Amino acid sequence: MFPGVDGFHWTAGHIIFLGLFFAVAATILTTVASAAWRSARDIREDRAAGLCWKSDFAELPVHDRRCRHELAGRVISRTCDNAFNCGSCGKYAQFAVLPARGDSNPSGLNYPDDRLYSRDHTWVKVEPGGTVSIGLDDFAQHVLGTPDSITLPEIGSEIELNGTAWQMKKHKQKIRVRAPIEGTVIAKGTQQDDWILKIQPRRDVKDPLTTRHLLRGPEVRGWIVREMERLQLQLQPLNTAPTLADGGTLMPNLMDSLPHADWETVLADTFLEA
């Protein structure tokens, strides 16, 4: 029987049931509204990309989360637990003063000292006037060769640190390249230009807190050596030709040379897609 129907009588059970029902409904609506408000706030405050990156970082395998100080030989072993955000790392200063070991240039690959490098295989170069150029590093270019297509952001658009800088396709594989720094897009280039994007940073790029998360010097060599070892293992199953030539030199256009390799896994690890 229902209210408004002859013979219906309110009981304590009805009141308790309806009270619980509306309490649950109110809780659900409040939770949904609160989540929507927080999401809108994060988008307004440009924090959405950072939140996504923290989630992705937590899913990366341990070998992709090695601390830059381990890569430089300052410490024997250390795993980053701060999403590569060296600017807020309480132990950065403690390890940074230790001497680094090893050469600054990886064997067989071109990593100029006038650039800083992100672990998703992009580089950052500060230009006269404070603008910044961004491009794919030599490792990524050897792996990809020439992309089948590339989608760049519009001039005037904003890119967020660890958000999407641009997207590419190669052999039906979709590749998302993360932004190594944040700012406004002021020019678009190509791989033939060496650089892909030029941006105006939101903050002074000379501020060490802005670029501290990027690798430099001996850290680059330690990182690339491990990346080459990882790539060789991924592309060298039984009964296949070697993918690294004399002395460990990386061969160009690997995706064209080995079309049947597990490129989904290789590209995910290369561009830090969990």
State pLDDT tens for residues 211-261. 889 999 889 999 998 999 898 888 876 565 555 544 557 788 899 998 889
Amino acid in the structure at residue 105: N
- Residue with the bigger pLDDT between 110 and 34: it is 110
Q: What is the pLDDT of residue 45?
A: 43
Would you identify the CATH topology of the domain 48-270? OB fold (Dihydrolipoamide Acetyltransferase, E2P) (2.40.50)
State pLDDT tens for residues 126-177. 999 889 999 999 999 999 999 999 999 999 999 999 999 999 999 999 999 9
DSSP the chain: --TTSTT----HHHHHHHHHHHHHHHHHHHHHHHHHHHHHHHHHTT-HHHHHHHHHHHHS-GGGSB-HHHHTTSSS--B--STT-GGG-TTHHHHHTSPP-S-SS-TTS---TTSEE-TTSEEEEEPTTS-EEEEE-HHHHHHH-S-SEEE-PPTT-EE-TTSEEEEEEETTEEEEEEPSS-EEEEEE--GGGS-SEEEEESS-TTSHHHHTTSB-THHHHHHHHHHHHHHHHHT--TT---SB-GGGPBPS-HHHH-TTS-HHHHHHHHTT--
Place of tokens 């002021």: 186
Q: pTM of the full predicted structure?
A: 0.75
Question: Does residue 185 register a pLDDT over 80?
Answer: yes
In terms of C-beta density within 10 A (0-12 exposed, 13-18 middle, 19 or more buried), how is residue 273 classed?
middle
> Residue ranges per domain, the chain?
48-270
Reference 158, options 197, 101, 103; nearest CA is 197
Model confidence band, residue 33 (pLDDT cutoffs 50, 70, 90)? low
State pLDDT tens for residues 205-216. 555 557 889 999
Percent of the chain whose pLDDT exceeds 90 = 38
* Residue 271 neighbours by CB under 8 Å, 6+ apart: 120, 121, 140, 175, 176, 177, 178
Reference 225, options 30, 80, 70; nearest CA is 70
Q: What is the pLDDT of residue 43?
A: 47
Model confidence band, residue 194 (pLDDT cutoffs 50, 70, 90)? confident
Amino acid in the structure at residue 4: G
